[in-house]
Amino acid sequence: MPLFLFLVPFNISCDKKAPRVQTATEGSPAPDFSVTAFSGEKMKLSDLGGKVVLVNFWATWCASCAEEKPHLFSLYSRLKDNPDFRFVSILFRDDINKALMFQKAHSMAFPVYLDPGGEAAFSYGLTGVPETFIIDKQGILRKKIIGPENWASPQVLAYFRDLLEDRNDLSAENNKNFEACRQKLVLAQKSNVLYDLDWKLPAEPRVVIGPTFYTMPFDAKENFALTINCFLMTGKSSYVNFDLLDWQTNKKIGRFSNGKLKLD
């Protein structure tokens, strides 16, 4: 599966004498840990087997964390209803009451866990906050991200969609084709053809297109729709249905269904 080629850190991480022992390695089983919910209930990572888990270490005293949190909350809001997804937000050397005040002040409600003995932070070799770890359904650590990221981008949503649908099990040839489609989609974004990709799980994805789309001949629009389909397909089917929405009005202007583009 391609790495996070599209994510660009927008600040540095905060450091508050974090343990510097690296034991969590990408591509290896994620170390198990136990954290405590605000209610006092304990939760182990091993309890979440078969799910895609997003583990985020953060603190209210960290400016980079505060900058990143709205993006993380946006991702969490989109994926929280998927039974195969869990967000584990671990407070690092901070007070739970401050975390609850932070949530209230920013109108963000997400699960917060405590790591009072620092076991989780130590097991993952935390170097500062924010640091985030993505674990797949097989319990393998897929990505370690040091510092804040733009988690609300369509590429990140696509990455999690891949993990949730086990797209990492595609054949080498399908993976090659998938990456080719991904690169074409990046070029389309740069030319302002594609503005956003809204997954709205578990419903069908919606593609919000930019003004360049209207100036394209119909055959080019069809090719563009096929490129998006190639990007979305899991390898288990030939076509994925999706609606096209106008970037200004958010109104439906067409639909790609069963390999054909139909404009309203």
**Which tokens in the block code for residue 67?**
């900058």
- Assigned CATH for 34-150: 3.40.30.10
**In the chain, where does the domain assigned CATH 3.40.30.10 lie?**
34-150
The sign of the CA dihedral 9, 15, 19, 21 is positive
Dihedral of CA atoms 102, 106, 109, 113 in degrees, nearest 10, equals -30
pLDDT, mean of each 10-residue run, the chain (264 residues): 36 52 76 91 92 96 93 92 95 93 92 92 92 92 89 84 68 54 61 60 68 84 80 62 83 87 91
The dihedral of CA 259, 261, 262, 264: what is its sign?
positive
The Cα 149–Cα 172 span in angstroms is 29
E strands within the chain?
A: 34-37, 42-44, 52-58, 85-91, 112-114, 131-135, 141-146, 194-198, 206-209, 242-246, 252-257, 260-263
Q: What is d(CA 37, CA 43) in angstroms, rounded to the nearest whole number? A: 7
User: Beta strands 242-246 and 206-209: pairing type?
Assistant: parallel
φ/ψ region of 98 (left if φ > 0, alpha if ψ in -120 to 50, else beta) reads alpha
Note the pLDDT of residue 170. 41
How many C-beta neighbours within 10 Å does residue 232 have?
A: 25
Q: Which one-letter amino acid corresponds to residue 208?
A: V
What pTM, to 2 d.p., does this model score? 0.61
Beta bridge partners of 29: 140
> HSE on the CB side for 152, CA within 13 Å?
9
